[in-house]
Amino acid sequence: MLGNPREVVTGLYERHRPAAGTVVVGVLDPDERLRASASFTRRAGESDGWVFRNTLLAQLRRVIPHDLRRRTPVRTAVLLHCREGESRWTVEDGAWMWGLRDACTLHGLRCGAYVTLTGAGWQVLGEGRGGRHPQLGSRTTLFVPRADKVSPLPGQLGPLPEQRAGRTERFGTGTERPEQRTGRAESLTERAAGLLSRPIDAPREQWPRTAVR
């Protein structure tokens, strides 16, 4: 049983953005952090558990090594089935659940939750837990980092201090302009103007001295 099923479902949905007819299989570590995942589109009309088992096993082998050498499984596989219609149990869900359990056994994983995702929300079958968000076709965001928290890519400069603390003010309808912060810019301008206004042939005593330690 998942400790926080909504976080797991949202993480899989954010990573793959699945549509109706898409199946997402994810592998969680003991702390329920997503280690690997894969998504694929199921063929319409198929409801054979053996076919589902082989498909899931092929996807697991593609994204993460097996744990067959361990005495007891430490990682858990979960399945997110995105479909249209109701989220209650169907005969096809039974085939998927059997296929997930058998694929986990052959890959050395623990069989986790089977979740359906529809336009009404998500539902963990067999546990009675669910929610409205995320839902099929929704746009949900787990975390949007601030500009000052994003590390620049190699070869790129990060945002200036004025840009980090800048806010936006509205001028008219539909127009936004950044708030002007000229305190630091004015001090630099005045300092540069003071240096340029000094004569080149001025004696050394007029120039500021720097103590050498």
Write out pLDDT tens, residues 136-158.
877 654 444 344 434 444 444 44
Query: What pLDDT score was predicted for residue 74?
Result: 94
- Tell me the two tokens of residue 116: 């359906």
Residues contacting residue 32 through CB under 8 Å, at least 6 positions apart: 2, 3, 4, 7, 8, 76
Tell me how far apart the alpha carbons of residues 41 and 45 are, in angstroms, rounded to a whole number.
12
Q: What single-letter amino acid sits at 174?
A: G
Residues of the chain with pLDDT > 90, as a percent, come to 49
Q: Is 137 exposed, middle or buried (0-12, 13-18, 19+ CB in 10 A)?
A: middle
The answer to whether residues 115 and 124 touch, using CB atoms and an 8 Å cutoff, is: yes
Which ranges of 160-212 does DSSP label H, i.e. alpha helix?
Answer: 161-165, 183-196
CATH code, domain with 95: 3.40.140.10
Residue 20 belongs to a domain = yes
Query: What pLDDT score was predicted for residue 210?
Result: 52
Helix (H) or strand (E) holding 93: helix 91-107
Tell me the residue range of the domain where 47 lies.
5-131
Tell me how far apart the alpha carbons of residues 37 and 183 are, in angstroms, rounded to a whole number.
49
Residues in the chain with pLDDT values less than 50: 141-172, 174-175, 178-179, 181-183, 185
**How many distinct structural domains can be found in the chain?**
1
Residue 178 belongs to a domain = no
Tell me how far apart the alpha carbons of residues 102 and 94 are, in angstroms, rounded to a whole number.
12
Angle formed by the axes of helices 91-107 and 49-63, nearest 10°: 40
Residue 96 belongs to a domain = yes
The answer to whether residues 122 and 87 touch, using CB atoms and an 8 Å cutoff, is: yes
Tell me how far apart the alpha carbons of residues 196 and 187 are, in angstroms, rounded to a whole number.
14
Residue 196 belongs to a domain = no
Query: What pLDDT score was predicted for residue 127?
Result: 85
Query: Please, what is the end-to-end C-alpha distance for the chain in angstroms?
Result: 65
Q: What single-letter amino acid sits at 84?
A: E
Residue 112 belongs to a domain = yes
